Amino acid sequence: MESNSQNSGRDEVREQLVQAARQVFVRFGYKKTALDDIAREARKGKSTIYYYFKSKDDIFKAVIDAEAEIRAKTIDDQISTIDDPQQKLKTYIYVRMLTLQKVGNYYEAIKNDLLDNLYFVNSLRTNHFDAEINLVKELLLEGIEKEVYTIQNPELTAKTIVTLLQGFEVPLILKNLSDEELQKSVDEMLNILFFGIVAKK
């Protein structure tokens, strides 16, 4: 029977490999990364990688899972204590955009068509889209309940917002905006979302 300390040690080594792989995949991209690169970054032998992971695909999936968890926790930590529906939606969008810059491998798996052949990518994309729509819908329903929003179809509105956000992702990421610049871009987007572009008479 294995002791708890042995299991803990194995978990620690696996985590070291995942964190090293995160850095290497961001640096070289999935296609150009070799297991030797990950082993070198982690200061482990390649045989150690094969002990924990069957292939490069397998360790990349572990990286994506880790970054998805980081993204979800970061967003939840920021919005869970906010009561005002508009502020909560605004914070969600801001943190969502900011977090994408910090989970580059997750973002690549969502957006890069060259990764379509990976066994887990299509389900990841579907789950990502559906989960985001459900979260935005929950935020909208909360606003409707508090009589902040007047929305006839929360599901359709949530899909529209998520689609709009996805359209903003690439230019925001490519421009490598500062936190302040990102905040201004999100504010402008939300002004259009909340108040429209028609002059009030």
Q: Is 115 helix (H, G, I), strand (E, B) or coil?
A: helix
Q: What percent of the chain has pLDDT over 90?
A: 51
The CATH number linked to 30 is 1.10.10.60
Is the domain of 172 the same as that of 112?
yes
Is the domain of 169 the same as that of 76?
yes
Is the domain of 15 the same as that of 110?
no
The mean pLDDT value of the chain amounts to: 86
Is the domain of 100 the same as that of 169?
yes
Q: Is position 200 within any domain?
A: no
Domain with 81, as residue range(s), is: 63-195
188 and 113 in contact (C-beta within 8 Å)?
no
pLDDT at 75: 93
Q: What pTM, to 2 d.p., does this model score? A: 0.79
Q: Is 181 helix (H, G, I), strand (E, B) or coil?
A: helix
The CATH number linked to 180 is 1.10.357.10
Is the domain of 37 the same as that of 86?
no
Of 60-74, 75-89, 149-163, 184-198, the one with minimum mean pLDDT is 184-198
Distance, CA of 165 to CA of 31 (rounded, Å): 27
Is the domain of 125 the same as that of 79?
yes
Which of the two residues, 191 and 200, has the higher pLDDT score?
191
pLDDT at 120: 85
If one counts the domains in the chain, the total is 2
Dihedral Cα 96, 68, 119, 121, nearest 10 deg: 0
Close Cβ partners of 52 (under 8 Å, ≥ 6 residues apart): 10, 13, 14, 17, 59
Mean pLDDT of 85-91: 91
Q: Is position 58 within any domain?
A: no
Residue type at position 149? Y
pLDDT at 189: 77
Is the domain of 112 the same as that of 176?
yes
* Res 179 pLDDT > 90: no
Is the domain of 104 the same as that of 159?
yes
Distance, CA of 145 to CA of 58 (rounded, Å): 43
Q: Is position 110 within any domain?
A: yes
With bands split at pLDDT 50, 70 and 90, how would you rate the model's confidence at 46?
very high
Is the domain of 67 the same as that of 117?
yes
Of 14-18, 32-36, 53-57, 126-130, the one with minimum mean pLDDT is 126-130
DSSP 2-69: --HHHHHHHHHHHHHHHHHHHHHHHHH-TTT--HHHHHHHHT--HHHHHHH-SSHHHHHHHHHHHHHH
With bands split at pLDDT 50, 70 and 90, how would you rate the model's confidence at 4?
low
